[in-house]
Amino acid sequence: MTVLTSFMDGIKQEVQQEAGMTAEKGIVNGKEILYLKYEGDNPHQVIKWIDETSGAYYHIHDTKKSKLSKQDFLKIAEKFVH
């Protein structure tokens, strides 16, 4: 699992819908998140969210070898989403 943080500095973040990817919005600890699931040759899960106060953009992802369920992955995200 990898957790990435970057500051947007006014740059708009976009997520392009790709073949083999499903996307859904959700709420974790009161913050809107985007949950992405990739299928195919490189299956993995991603959770993205923006902290509007600090301007930080967060991205958590696992790898194709991960055995985490969606619920387990969201539970881990709860520790990072504030």
Q: What is the pLDDT of residues 17-59, one digit of tens each?
A: 778 889 999 999 999 999 999 998 889 999 999 888 888 889 9
pLDDT band at 7 (very low <50, low <70, confident <90, very high): confident
pTM: 0.83
Range of the domain at 12: 2-78
Taking 3-state DSSP, the helix, strand and coil percentages for the chain, each rounded to the nearest 5, stand at 10, 45, 45
- Residue 45's φ and ψ, nearest 5 degrees, are -120, 150
Strands in 2-7's sheet, in edge-to-edge order, are 2-7, 56-61, 44-51, 31-38, 21-28
Give the number of domains in the chain: 1
Helix (H, G, I), strand (E, B) or coil at 52: coil
